[in-house]
Every structure is written in structure tokens, then in C-alpha cells.
Structure 1
């Protein structure tokens, strides 16, 4: 069994695309997954599956969510080893930064790095970004809500039609922990 995290994009924001986490846990269990847990209300779920096809798991979850809730929700599914590798490759001093100042945007597929050549890094300092393995690391010392660089990086001309969803460093660390520790260690810790 492999532990996965499902990262749902754009749910439970200002009352739109409401997906209660209890119902998401039920849905994942009905799809045959085990060790199902959620983290926060922003679309983070962890589950175990014998499948080794994360893209097929994501597509299955997208279909099930649309059928159950009546609206589409883009989903990324990543295994614990990928999440740990991406977190471990962070080019910024994560241990020294506040969790809300560092973010990872996960991409559904690789993004052509030359697209980001259009961004003038000096014009956004002290904010910075770096690309990783289907991921973008963003350091935004004033937070994501005030980040001008985050807005520039999210332009469709840079990412095309690639599904992308961001998580702050606190959530990144928690998802790594939830997908790399044994499921029994979590019982009672998260819903």
C-alpha cells in the first residue's frame, strides 16, 4: 500500500465549491481507499491505495467529486515519497522562515521553465521563486495575500492549462508527515 495526498484546488473559498471534509473522507473510503484522513478545510486528504498510478487516482477522485457535489474540482494526487523529496529539495532555508512565508505550488505535470524567463526576479525582491520537480517554491515574506510575485507567477501564460495548487509550508510539512509515517501513528490525531 502506498500513502497518497490528494490536493484539491479551489474548494471551500468564500463559500464557493463547498466540500465538507467529512464527506470527502466518506467519498475516498467509498472509492476503496484506506487510512483516510483530512487536514484543514482547504482540500487536503491522505489515503492509502494499492495503486501505483497517481494520475488515475486523481482522475477517479475528480469524477467522484463532480458526481457527488455537482461541480468540477481539479485534483492532484502525490505519494509521500514525492512530497518528502520536494520538501527536502526546498532551495530556501525553510527551518528559519515562518510557515506562512514559504509556499509550494504543485503542478499536474512539468512546466517549461523557459516560460518563467519573462519574470524579472529583481523587480519583486524580497520575494523570490525557484522551480523544482513539478513544483514551484515561493518565498513571500509579507504572506501570499500581499504577494505581487504570486500574482505574476499564476498567469495562464506561464503555466498554460496545467493544474496547479499551492500550499503553505506548514501544510507541506504536515502532509509529508501524514504520508510518510505509519497510519496507526495518526489515529486520533486528525479527522
Structure 2
């Protein structure tokens, strides 16, 4: 068995695509997954499964959500190693001038093809920082994520890949829940 982290995009946001976490846990268990845990109401699920490609897990979970709940939800599945790598690659986390509560990670479903980085960077507001990788976009939003123009929708449109954003606390907590021996270092 291998541990995976799935992050669902756009559920329980402003009353849209409502899914209760206990019902979501049951759905994962019905798919044959074990050790299913959810974290907060925004669709973060840690589970164990026979080892398989994250893309196959994403398709299976997404298809089951559509069957059970009647709407499409993009799903990203990460291994513990991949999430650990994404966390370790955050260029802002060790900067003493950056308040961790203003850090966010936009997880990318695939590496973006060619994109205009300057167009994206021109949306930054006072004090904001952005950094790109093939698996994530790192954001520092000192005025709050609710006020940035570097939103998930904006980044998806500019990078032309599915994405979902989590704050730093949620991101590190998912790793802690998925692998306590690794996650305790945060």
C-alpha cells in the first residue's frame, strides 16, 4: 500500500459543488482506498491504495465524484514524495521577512507549456511575490489571497493547465497527516 494525497478543485466554495467530508470519505472507501482522512472542508483527502499512477487515481476519483454527486471536479493526486518536494522547493519559506500565513501554493496538474511570464508577473500587487516550477506556482500575498489578482482561475487561464490552490498551513498539514515522520519537520 502507498499513501497518496488528493486535492479537489472548487468544492464547498461559496455554496458551489457541495460535498460533505464524511460522504467523500465513504466514496473513497467504496473505491477500495484505505486509511482515508480528510482535512478541512475544501476537498483534501489522504488515503492508501495499491501503488498506481496518480493520473489513473485522478481519473477514477473524478469519475466517481461525477457519478455520485452529479458534477465534474478536477482532482490532483500527489505522492508523499511529490508533496514533500513541492514544499521543499518553495523559495519564500526560509525568508524571515515573509509571514508564513501569506504563503500559498497553486498545484499544477501538468507542467505548463509556453506561457507569458511577464503578463502574469504584471498582475502582482504591492509586496506580492510569485515563483514558477513545473509542478507548482508559489505565491506570497501579504495583502491576503482574497485580494490578489494572481488567483487560481487567472493562473489556470494563463498557464493553460488545471490547478488548485492551498494556503501554506494546509499544504504542510497535508504532508504531516500523510507522513508524520516527514511532516513533523515543518
Q: TM-score, normalised by structure 2?
A: 0.88
Q: Which runs of 5+ in 2 are unaligned?
A: 182-186
Q: Which runs of 5+ in 1 are unaligned?
A: 183-191
Q: For 1:116-160, what per-residue CA distance to the aligned partner results, in whole angstroms no more than 9, with x for missing partners?
A: 23234596341010012310000001110011333794261x122
> Does structure 2 retain, via aligned residues, the 8 Å contact 1:113–1:131?
no
Higher relative CO (CA 8 A, sep ≥ 6), structure 1 or 2? 1
**Partner residue in 1 for 2:145:** 144
State how far apart, in whole Å, the 2-side matches of 1:76 and 1:48 are.
15
Greater helix share, structure number: 1
State how far apart, in whole Å, the 1-side matches of 2:171 and 2:114 are.
22
RMSD: 2.1
State how far apart, in whole Å, the 1-side matches of 2:154 and 2:52 are.
31
Q: 1:31-180 maps to which residues of 2 (within 5 A)?
A: 31-93=31-93, 96=96, 97-112=98-113, 114-120=115-121, 124-150=125-151, 153-154=154-155, 156=157, 158-160=158-160, 162-180=161-179
Equivalent pairs, count: 180
Q: For 1:39-64, what per-residue CA distance to the aligned partner results, in whole angstroms no more than 9, with x for missing partners?
A: 00001000011123001001000000
Corresponding residue SS for 1:10? coil
> Does structure 2 retain, via aligned residues, the 8 Å contact 1:86–1:133?
no
Moved over 6 A (4+): none
Q: For 1:74-103, what per-residue CA distance to the aligned partner results, in whole angstroms no more than 9, with x for missing partners?
A: 110111110011101110035744443000
